[in-house]
Amino acid sequence: MAESGSTRQIWIVFWILFVLTTVEVLLGIFKPAFMLENAVIGVSLLNHTFIILTIIKAYYIVGTFMHLGHEKKSLQISIVAPMWVLVPYLLFILLCEASFHGAIG
């Protein structure tokens, strides 16, 4: 059973998610030019920002709402490790192949 903490932590996380989503939406609407034009490893700074903010949101949802942060270390690792290994691997292969797709016709 999960330990029953106070609801304070829950509302803090709610506000974090709220603010991060608002930032994402504002960036999505206004698309600052310097973020759109500068790219790092083929992806614009704007998209890097979106992805980083999304991962931060995921961290708070999984850690606090799903309570994984309070589970045993072995459970945490057995859930998170496959994601951190397999998903970047899959994306690396798919996106690299996609960027060569035109070259090999």
Partner 1 sequence: MEKSVVEKNVWNGGVRPMVASYGKLMMWFFLMTDALTFSAFLGAYGFQRFVHADAWPVADEVFNHFPFLHGEYPMLFVALMTFILIMSSVTMVLAVHHGNKMNKKGVLIWLGLTIIGGLIFLGSQAWEWSHFIHGTYNGALLGADGSIAHYVAGTTNEIIRHGQVLTGDAAAAFIASASEIQGANLLANEYGHPLFGDFFFFITGFHGFHVFSGVVILIIIFINVLRDTYEKRGHYEMVEKVGLYWHFVDLVWVFVFTFFYLV
Q: Which residues bind partner 1 (CB under 8 A)?
A: 1-4, 7, 10-11, 14, 17-18, 21-22, 24-25, 27-29, 47, 50-51, 53-54, 57-58, 61-62, 64-67, 71-72, 74-75, 78-79, 82-83, 86-87, 90-91, 94-95, 97-99, 101-102
Nearer to partner 1, 34 or 74 (CB): 74
Helix/strand/coil percentages in the chain, nearest 5: 75, 5, 20
CB of 40 to partner 1, least distance (A): 14
| Residue 7 DSSP label | S
Lookup: tokens for 93: 């292969």
Nearer to partner 1, 18 or 37 (CB): 18
In angstroms, the CA 62 to CA 59 distance is: 5
CB of 77 to partner 1, least distance (A): 10
CB of 52 to partner 1, least distance (A): 10
CB of 85 to partner 1, least distance (A): 11
Structural contact between residues 64 and 9, judged by C-beta atoms closer than 8 angstroms = yes
Burial class (CB in 10 A: 0-12, 13-18, 19+), 48: middle
